[in-house]
Amino acid sequence: MRIVVDLTRCQAYAQCVFLAPQVFELHGEEALLYRPDVPEEQLDRVREAVVACPVRAILVGEAVDAGAE
């Protein structure tokens, strides 16, 4: 699975960091770092993070592919 975070939409609530710390990381107080290629063992955690994001800033799968065109 591949993800993209819309960093202009992200408000650093960090729900993703709490749910999938091996994929998402806060650098400082507001800068989000993430792994765009999600390891197989982290898929469930990332799916939970997508749902938990209050501003819906995490795009997954087909939404990511559509943005690349």
3-state secondary structure of 20: coil
The first and second tokens of residue 46, run together, are 């990332």
pLDDT tens-place string over residues 29-42: 889 999 999 999 99
Domains annotated for the chain, with CATH where assigned, are 3-68 (3.30.70.20)
Is-contact 5 67, C-beta < 8 A?
no
pLDDT tens-place string over residues 12-29: 999 999 999 999 999 988
The first and second tokens of residue 59, run together, are 């795009």
Binning pLDDT at 50, 70 and 90, where does residue 58 land?
very high
Q: Which residues contact 17 (CB under 8 A, 6 or more apart)?
A: 24, 25, 26, 32
Residue 63 has pLDDT above 80, yes or no: no
